[in-house]
Structure 1
Amino acid sequence: MKQKSAPIAKAAPSRLQRELSAGILELIRAEKLAPGTRLAEVALAERLQVSRTPVRAALKLLAGRRLIRVGASRGYFVTDTAPPAPKTPGKPAPADTDRLFVAIARDRRSGRLPVDVSERDLMQRYGASRPVVQRVLAKLAEVAAVQRKPGHGWRFQPIIADAKARAESYRYRILIEPAALLEPGFQLDPVWAAEMRRRHQDATRRTWNETASIAFFEMNAAFHEGLAAASGNRFLLVAVQQQNRLRSFANYDWTFGYERVLVNCREHLAILDRLEAGEREAAAALMRSHLEGASRVKRVTDEAANGRRTNNGK
């Protein structure tokens, strides 16, 4: 008599899937994402510093546990009920790492944090645990904001730290970024454009808080780098990537308010509209206007800050 084969046991979630699932739930709680908000794989992968594949697996795991829901056609969305708080401590929550990230960006930009630091220095200065500090340093290393020193410690890389350098940076970007849209080899990836549009639309609906500046800058940087990549000119892409690295700390510590976030998103979406319509010259003009407007905002902010320092006798 033929014996029935034993059913194949369902594989248990990996440790990475469990950690990412907890991280996604924490992001939903920390940013107070409204029910129905789309949980985009690309954005989550950037926030959690992993590739899209494990994020997709974590989303599937959460959906299977009914902690998030699957869309009618595809994709994952926040449910109508708040996710439960974690019962046991695990991997550092994104909210913890994001708060430390912003604090380091603020202190580095103001010069209060030295160029050379160690993990212990940061733990003592900010009262943070080693796993949180290590996670933040790893994230900073990914965007080339810090570099591990031979033997021991970390070194912060050069940043755009003064008004003159910021003005020069914007003039440089005004020269190259509109030109990138007019390159003969320019080709917009429709999948990238659709994902970027979704991320910008989500940003305009998201509750703003201090640590939201991190996701906002990463989206902003991805937009400008993506258009430079679409130009087909590798040298333009490298130039834009370098500018994003140099200006990262000034933007991770966002000081321009949520209204400026909305303006930025609307202007990015208008550029996408023109590119998708095949109107590259109009898109280039909008890009130039966008960068000139951002430069004016930075200049006014710098002048106000300089006035405060003068009045305080500094």
Structure 2
Amino acid sequence: MSLTPLQIRVTREILALARKDDLDQGDRLAESLLAERIGTSRTPVNVALRHLADLGAVFYDHNRGYFLAKPARELSDIATQIFEEPEEPLYLKIAEDRLAKRLPDVVSEADLMRQYGVARSVLRKVLSVMQEEGWLERQVGQGWQFLPMIDSVEAYEESYVFRTAIEPTGILSPDFRCDREELEELRRRQQFIVDGGYLTMTSVELFEANSELHETMAKWSGNRFIVQSVRRVDRLRRLVEYRQARARKPRQEQAMEHLAILDAIRQHDLLKAAGLLRDHLEGARRRKVHAGDVFNVEFRS
């Protein structure tokens, strides 16, 4: 089945939700609830479920709807296949060329259309996504300018120094308010990773679980600038981290550190939580930057 970019995204979201919720074989996937959680209409959800049925991940009962064909944690092969399919090949190609410094700081639409052999309408959709993610902006008049992004080991390290400065500060904000239901959901997902999910989840799923936790804690800070900053850095990190080969064991250790931070928040010991978060980010910086292969990235087009 040939899917549109939206349908590919919804397919990924459905599978990610099933695996985050650790659904079991036979659990129902209600189209209306999925559409509500993903934030889309039922039409792309229905297409995505039919695609998942073709792949053997779900099955359809004419009278009752769609159900998981096997436990979500056993869908690793299908998850890998779905998450590694490029949602937009042109996006990934431009990202690859920019990270490899094959594109100048300022580019024109005409040059990009010739270089990649695409129509203006296709190109503009991709450029709009890049603009929204904060690594490209339209110039006055004509052309587009690339903004600073995580395109070197030095920039990658700077992103961690920045996060270490603002994320613990968010926990210590006078407006910090933890949502108890969100906290318990985050704890459950991180515990799943600790208990073996780190062995079966794709690199994309692991990154998204990580970014979800950090962005949620930033939201609890009550400071709109901290929230926006953490989200923007995460978007830039995705370009580098989505397609990196990752050692599995550190993911389990990071999830254990996440649980310790959440437990300190649950116990209202925000000073301890901020310290643990600072140590967590500093440890991640040392592991990833000093590994020396941060930018051994392969983009698929």
User: Normalising by the residue count of structure 1, what TM-score does the alignment of the two structures yield?
Assistant: 0.60
Q: Which has the larger radius of gyration?
A: 1
Report if aligned partners of 1:145, 1:245 keep a CA contact under 8 Å in 2: no
Report if aligned partners of 1:123, 1:130 keep a CA contact under 8 Å in 2: no
Matching residue within 272, 283, 294 for 1:282: 272
Does the C-alpha gap of structure 1 residues 109 and 57 become closer, same or farther in structure 2, counting only changes over 3 Å? Answer: closer
2:63 is matched with: none
Report the CA distance between 1:250 and its aligned residue: 2.6
1:252 is matched with: 242
Does the C-alpha gap of structure 1 residues 160 and 152 become closer, same or farther in structure 2, counting only changes over 3 Å? Answer: same
User: Normalising by the residue count of structure 2, what TM-score does the alignment of the two structures yield?
Assistant: 0.62
Task: Report the number of matched residues.
Answer: 262
**Aligned partner of 2:279: which letter?**
S
Query: Tell me, what secondary structure is at the counterpart of 1:271?
Result: helix
Report if aligned partners of 1:97, 1:135 keep a CA contact under 8 Å in 2: no
Does the C-alpha gap of structure 1 residues 230 and 106 become closer, same or farther in structure 2, counting only changes over 3 Å? Answer: same
Query: Tell me, what secondary structure is at the counterpart of 1:161?
Result: coil
Report if aligned partners of 2:150, 2:156 keep a CA contact under 8 Å in 1: yes
Report if aligned partners of 1:228, 1:240 keep a CA contact under 8 Å in 2: yes
**Deviation digits for residues 213-268 of structure 1 (CA, Å, limit 9, x no counterpart):** 3x444443332222122112233323323433443423234344333333333322
Q: Mind listing any 5+ residue stretches in structure 2 that lack a counterpart?
A: 61-65, 76-81, 297-301
Matching residue within 86, 103, 111 for 1:97: 86
1:263 is matched with: 253
* Distance (Å, rounded) in 1 between the aligned partners of 2:191 and 2:42: 21
- The 5 Å alignment of 1:288-299 reads 288-299=278-289
1:223 is matched with: 213
1:183 is matched with: 173
Query: Tell me, what secondary structure is at the counterpart of 1:188?
Result: coil
Report if aligned partners of 2:170, 2:176 keep a CA contact under 8 Å in 1: yes
Matching residue within 21, 24, 47 for 1:36: 24
**Aligned partner of 1:79: which letter?**
A
* Distance (Å, rounded) in 2 between the aligned partners of 1:275 and 1:285: 11
* Distance (Å, rounded) in 1 between the aligned partners of 2:236 and 2:273: 25
* Distance (Å, rounded) in 1 between the aligned partners of 2:85 and 2:114: 17
- The 5 Å alignment of 1:156-235 reads 156-200=146-190, 204=197, 207-209=200-202, 212-213=203-204, 215-235=205-225
Report if aligned partners of 1:225, 1:237 keep a CA contact under 8 Å in 2: yes
Q: Mind listing any 5+ residue stretches in structure 1 that lack a counterpart?
A: 1-15, 71-75, 84-92, 309-314
How large is the Cα RMSD of the aligned pairs?
Answer: 5.1
1:58 is matched with: 45
Report the CA distance between 1:188 and its aligned residue: 0.9
Report if aligned partners of 1:145, 1:157 keep a CA contact under 8 Å in 2: yes
**Deviation digits for residues 174-225 of structure 1 (CA, Å, limit 9, x no counterpart):** 222112112222111123324434554566257355xx43x44444333222
* Distance (Å, rounded) in 2 between the aligned partners of 1:152 and 1:258: 45
Report if aligned partners of 2:13, 2:38 keep a CA contact under 8 Å in 1: no
**Deviation digits for residues 147-197 of structure 1 (CA, Å, limit 9, x no counterpart):** 456787755432022333333332232222112112222111123324434
